Structure 1
C-alpha cells in the first residue's frame, strides 16, 4: 500500500468514524428520551406533550455532545505537544547531553530526516514505567513524539528505533489527524456521564432534603441523571468499539512500515516481547489513558475483546512467524528477578560508551558504509514510477543516508541549529540567495523591515554556510525547526515576516531558494495555527488546472536551457497529469512568485489527484531520465509543500 492509497484509507476511516459516532449518538439519544418519558410520566395519551419532550431532550442531548466534542477539539489546537503535556510529558531539550535523552533525540532526528518531515517535538513521560509511545498532532509540522520512561530504560537502541519508526509511520501517513479527531469525538460521547453523575447526585440530595415536605420533584431529575449515566456508559462502549475499529488494522500497518524502514524485525519485535515479558507491560497510569488508547504503541490497559490493539502475540507473529507465545512466559520468569537494561544492552552491542554516566558519542547511530554525498554535477538516473513509490516510504537506505547527513553537518552548525537563540538567524542565512547582488538586496530589506541586528546575523550565517553541500541545507533547516518552535509566538510571527521579506525582496530569488523559503514558511505557519478542519483534500485536477500548469511550466523553464526542450518537458508533465489534454506552455511573467497562490490550491487535491501531480512534477524534472543534485532537493522541497514527504536520496541511486 503506497502513501496515496494510505491517504485514501484514512479518508475511508474518517467516514467510518463519523458514521459510528452518529450511531452512538442516536443510541444515546434513544436511551435518554426513554428515561425522560418515564421520569416525567409523559405517555402516548398526550401526543403534543410527548413530541415536545422528545424534541427538547433530543436537541439538548445532541447539543451537549456536540458542544463537548467541539470544545475538546479546540483545546487540542495546540497540536501534539498539547496532548503530550496533558499526559504528563516533559519536553526533551534539543541540545540535551543526558545519555538516554540524547539517544532518543538522535533516533528521532534521523527518523525525521529519513522520512522527509520536520523534526517533531520530543517528550518523555517520566512517571510512566511501562513501555509505550505515541505520536500526536494535526500535521508533521506540529507533531510531537513521546515515549515513557520505561521505554527509555528498558529498550536498547534497535528496539527504540523500531518503536520510533512505528510512530513515524503514523506521522507521515496522516494517522495522527484521525487520532486527534477521535479524541474530541470520544470526549463528547463520554461527557454525558459527567452530566448524569451531577444530576443524579443533585436529585438524591434534593430528594433527601424534601422528604419531610413530601416533595418528589427531585425524583425525575435523579432518574434522568441515572439515565444519562447509563447512556454515558453506552457511549463508553461505543467509544471502545470505535477505537478498536479505527486502530487495530493500522497498528499492523505501522509495524510493517517500521520493519520496511529499519530493514530488521528484531527491533520492534524485541520491544513487543519486552512489553509481554515485563510486569508493567504497556499499561499507563494516567487517568487519560482510555482517551488516548487508540494512538499508543501498545495497549494502555488490560487486554479485552474491545482492545484498541491486536493481541501482542499476533503482532509478534506477524513480524516473526516462528514465534512461540510460550516464549513470553519464559521471558517474564527471567526478567522478574533482573529486568533488562537498554543501556547495558547498548554497551554490549557497542552502541554506547561503557563509562558510568558518560555522554554518548556525537551521533551514536552512524553506520559503517553510509553512502557519500554526491559531488556537484552528479546526475542520478531515476524512474518516475519508482520515485512515487518512495513517497512517505523510507527504507533502511534512507535511514542510513540520514545518519550520514547528520555526520557530515559540522558540529558548530548543529549546535546553532539546536539552540533557540541562534536557530532563527541560521535559518535566514540558509535562505539568503547565493548571488551577491541579490543577497545584498535581501540584507537591506531585512534590515529595513526587521532591524539591522537580525539582518547582520543572517548575513554572517550565510557566510558560514557558503560551503555547505546542497543536500545538507534542507536537513539543517529541518533540524532547526524544534528550536524555532520553542520561541514565543510573537517571535515566530516576526520570523515568518522575515522569510516572506526574503521571498519578495526583488523577485530575483531562484526556484530552489524560493521553494526552501516557502517550505519553512509553511511549516512555521502550520505549527502556529494547525489546520483542524475535518477534510482538507477536496479539490480535483479540474479545479487546479491553471495552478498545476504554472508549477510545471516554471519547473520546465528552470531545468532546461532552451525553450524547445523546456516545452517538451512541460508537455511530458501535462501528459502525465491530464492524459489527452493539451495545455499551452506559458511560464508566468513573475516567475516563482506566481506560485504564492498556487500552493494552497494544489495542497488541497484529493489523494489520487495529488499522486498524479507529483508524478507530473517528476516527469518534468527528470524528462531526460536523469536528475541533478539541485533537482533532487527541489523535488523533495516541492513534495514537502504538497505534504507528500520524500525521503533523501543517496549518491548511488534512490535512498
Structure 2
C-alpha cells in the first residue's frame, strides 16, 4: 500500500469511525432510556408522561455526549503540542548538553530530511521509565514526537531509529489526524461515566436526602461504562492494523529489522515494559503509543501481541528467548549509550560528498509516486549525508529564535541583484532595515552558494523554531514572504513554491484543526487548475515553446487523458498559480496520485531530472502535502 492508498484508507477509517461512534451513542441512549422506563413504569405515572420523559432523557443524553466531544475537540485545537503537554511532556531544547537529547534530535532530523516533512517538535516524558513513544498532531506542520526517558536511556541508536521511524509512518500516512480526532470523539461517549463518578465522589457523606441524586449518578456511571466498552473497542479496531503497517513502514525505511525488533524485545524484557505510570492519560492516548501503555487484552488491545510483532521481524524468535533476555536485563538493565559505543556509533564517520548540481537521474512518474512518503534505506543514508553537509553556521541560525526569520528570508532572496534589492525593500518596509540587511548578508555570504539539495532540509530544520514566534510576528513574516514573491515579475518557480510552502506550514501550525481535512474533490472538478499548474511548470522548465508544449502534453496525458489537450502559455508566469493550490490540495488521495504523476511527467518529459528540477518537484509536492524523500530514483 503506497502513501496515496494509505491516505484513502485513513479517509475510509474516518467515515467508519463516524458510524461506530453513532452506534455507540445509540447504545448509550437506549441504555439510559431503558433505566428511565424501568423507574417510571414502576411509579405508575400519568399516561403519556413516560414517553415525554424518554424523549427528554434521550435529548439530554445526546446533548451531554455532543457537548463532551465538542469540548474535548476544542481543547485539542492546539494539535500535537496540547497532547504532549497533557502527558507531562517537556520540550527538547535546540541546544542541550544531555547526550540522550542530542542523539534523539539527530535521529529525528535525519528522518525528517529523509521523509521530506517539516521537523516536528520534540518532547520527552521525563518521569516515564517505560519504553514508549507517540506522534500527535493534525498535520506534519504541527506534528509532535514524544518519547519516554526510558526509551532514551534503554535503546541504542538503531533501536531508537526504528521507534522514531515507526512514529513517522503515522505522521506521513494520515494516522495522526485520525488519532487526535478519535480522542475528541471518544471523550463524549465517556461523559456519562465521568459525570456519574464525580457526583458520587462529591455526594459521599452528604445529606441523606440526596439519595435519589446518588442513585441517578450511579445509574449514569454504570450506563456510561457502556461508552467505555465501545470506546475501547473502537480504539482497538482502528489501531491494531495501523500498528502493523507502521512496523512494516519502519522496516522499509531503515532497511533493517534489528533496530525495531530490539526495541520490542527490550519492552518485553525490562521490568518497566511499555506501560506508562499515568494510566488515566495513557488510556486516552493508548491508540497513539508505540507500545501498549495500559495493559488491555483481547478485544480491547490497541496493539498486536508483543511476541507476534517480534516474530514478524524475526520469524525464529521464541518466548523462551524473550524469557532469557528478561532474566539477563533484570540483573543488568540495558544501557543504550553503552551499546552505541560497542556498535561503533560514538566515533566519527566519513561522509560521501553531495551529488554535483548538474547531476541527472533517470526517473519515471510511477517511480516517483512510489517514493512519496515511503522513504527507504537509501533515503535515510542520503539524509545522513545532507545533515552532515549542512553548514554548522546555518544549522545554528536555524535553531535561534531571533535569527531564524532572516535565515528563511535569505532563502527566498533572488540571485539577481535588481530583484533582490526590491525584495529587500519589502522586508525593510515590514520588518525594519536591520532584518533586510541581515537577510541580504546571509544570502550573499552563505545561503546563495548553498547546494540546491540543502535548501529544503534547512527550511525544514528551521520550522520548529519559527513556529514558536508570537502569532503577530508570524503574520508579519507571512506578509513579508508574499510581498517578496510579488516584488518583481521575475520570480523563479522554486522561490515562489518555497514561499508558498512556508505560508502553508505556518498557517497550519497556527490553526492546525482548521486544516485537518481529507480531500474529497475529483480531478474532473479541477480541470482549469491542473491545466494552469502543468502549463506553468512546462514554461519554467523549457525555454523552447515546442518543447514546453510537449512537456505539458506528457503531464496532461497522465492526469486528464480524456480532456482536450490545448497548451496556452501563461503571460503572468508563476503568479498564475495563486488560485490553484487550495483546490488541488483538496483532491482525494488517489486523484493526487495521478496529479503527482502528471507533474513528474512534465518536469522530466525527457525521462531525466537534474538536482534543481528534483528540488522543484519536491517543493510542489510538499505544498500539496505529498512529501518526497531527498533523492529521487533511489527505490
TM-score range, shorter chain: over 0.9
Task: Name the residue aligned to 1:236.
Answer: 228
CA-to-partner distance for each residue in 1:52-76, whole Å, 9 max, x for gaps?
1111111111111111111111111
Of 406, 414, 417, which residue of structure 2 is paired with 1:436?
Answer: 417
| Corresponding position of 1:406 | 387
Matched ranges for 1:48-63 at <5 A:
48-63=48-63
Deviations 1:358-401 (A, max 9, x none): xxx6xxxx6x564x322132221111111110001000100000
Q: Distance in 2 between matches of 1:121 and 1:43?
A: 59
The alpha carbon displacement at 1:180 in A equals 0.2
Residue number in structure 2 paired with 1:16: 16
Task: Note the C-alpha offset of 1:28.
Answer: 0.7
| 1:174-213 CA-partner distances (Å, limit 9, x unpaired) | 10000000110111111211212244467776760x3xxx
Of 537, 540, 543, which aligns to 1:558? 540
Tell me, yes or no, if structure 1 residue 96 matches structure 2 residue 99: no
Q: Using a 3 Å threshold, how does the CA distance of structure 1 residues 550 and 430 change in structure 2: closer, same or farther?
A: same
Query: Counterpart of 2:311?
Result: 317
Matched, 1:342 2:324: no
* 1:466–1:204 Cα change, 3 Å: closer
Q: Deviations over 1:151-188 (max 9, x none)?
A: 00000000000000000000011100000001101111
1:304 equivalent in structure 2: 297
Quote the residue 2:172 is aligned against: 172
Name 2:262's counterpart in structure 1.
270
Q: Does the CA contact (< 8 Å) of 1:261 and 1:394 recur in 2? A: yes
**Quick check: 1:395 aligned with 2:387?**
no
For residue 24 of structure 2, give the secondary structure of its aligned residue in structure 1: helix
Q: Tell me, in whole angstroms, the C-alpha distance in 2 between the residues paired with 1:31 and 1:328.
A: 45
Whole-angstrom CA distance in 1 between matches of 2:47 and 2:568: 69
Q: 1:571 to 1:46 in 2, by over 3 A?
A: farther
1:453-472 map, 5 Å: 453-464=434-445, 465-472=447-454
Stretch of structure 1 that moved more, 394-403 or 418-427 = 418-427
Is 1:621 the equivalent of 2:603?
yes
* C-alpha contact 2:252 2:377 (8 A) present in aligned 1: yes
Taking the TM superposition and a 5 Å limit, the aligned residue runs for 1:421-432 are 421-432=402-413
The answer to whether structure 1 residue 288 and structure 2 residue 268 are counterparts is no
Contact 2:138 2:516 (C-alpha < 8 Å) held by counterparts: no
Q: CA deviation at 1:437?
A: 0.8
* Structure 2 CA distance for aligned equivalents of residues 448 and 335 of structure 1: 62
Provide the rounded CA distance (Å) in 1 between the counterparts of 2:139 and 2:516: 13
CA distance in 2, matches of 1:244, 1:536: 22
Tell me if 1:258 matches 2:250: yes
Give the number of aligned pairs: 632
Q: Deviations over 1:620-648 (max 9, x none)?
A: 01111111211100000011011111001
Separation (CA, whole Å) in 2 of partners of 1:369 and 1:89: 34
- 8 A contact 1:134–1:147 mirrored in 2: yes
Measured on the aligned residues, the alpha-carbon RMSD in Å equals 1.7
CA distance 1:47–1:175, change in 2 (3 Å): farther
How many Å separate the matches in 1 of 2:266 and 2:296? Answer: 16
1:447 counterpart residue number: 428
Partner of 2:359: 378
CA deviation after TM superposition for structure 1 residue 434, in Å: 1.1
Q: Residues 342 and 203 (structure 1 numbering): CA distance in 2 closer, same or farther, change over 3 Å?
A: closer
> Which among 208, 213, 216 is matched to residue 224 of structure 1?
216
Query: Which residue is 1:418 aligned to?
Result: 399
Compared CA separation, residues 351 and 137, structure 1 to 2 (3 A): same
CA–CA separation in structure 1 for the residues paired with 2:599 and 2:513: 26
Q: The residue matched to 2:119 in structure 1 has which SS?
A: coil
TM-score where L is the length of structure 1: 0.94
Higher mean displacement: 579-588 or 246-255: 579-588
Residue 356 of structure 1 corresponds to which residue in structure 2?
A: none
Determine the structure 2 residue equivalent to 1:64. Answer: 64
CA distance in 2, matches of 1:64, 1:144: 31
What's the CA shift string for 1:276-308, capped at 9, x where partnerless? 001100000113000000000000122411111
Deviation at 1:45, TM superposition (A): 7.1
Mapped contact 1:37–1:43 kept (Cα < 8 A) = no
Aligned partner of 1:592 in structure 2 is 574
2:590 corresponds to which of 608, 613, 621: 608
CA distance in 2: counterparts of 1:325 and 1:595, whole angstroms: 58
Q: Retained in 1: the 8 A contact 2:189–2:231?
A: yes
| Aligned 8 A contact 1:515 1:637 in 2 | yes
Gap change, CA 1:43 and 1:551, over 3 Å in 2: farther
Contact 2:397 2:404 in 1 (8 A): yes
- In structure 2, how many angstroms separate the alpha carbons of the residues matched to 1:57 and 1:534? 34
**Deviation string for 1:488-534 (max 9, x for gaps)?**
22222221121111122123211011111111111111111113466
Are 1:248 and 2:240 an aligned pair? yes
Quote the offset at 1:315 in angstroms: 0.4
How far apart, CA to CA, are the structure 1 residues paired with 2:213 and 2:39? 8
- Aligned residue for 2:524, secondary structure, equals coil
C-alpha distance 624-53 of structure 1, shift in aligned 2 (>3 A): same
3-state SS of 1:288 partner: helix
**Structure 2 CA distance for aligned equivalents of residues 204 and 35 of structure 1:** 23
SS in 1 for 2:538: helix
- Paired with 1:13 and 1:492, the residues of 2 have a C-alpha distance of 34
Verify the 8 A CA contact 1:539 1:606 in the aligned structure 2. Answer: yes
**How many Å separate the matches in 1 of 2:47 and 2:444?**
82
Structure 1 match to 2:105: 105
Distance in 1, matches of 2:539 and 2:286, equals 50
Distance 2:204 2:398 in 1: 61
SS at match of 2:267: helix
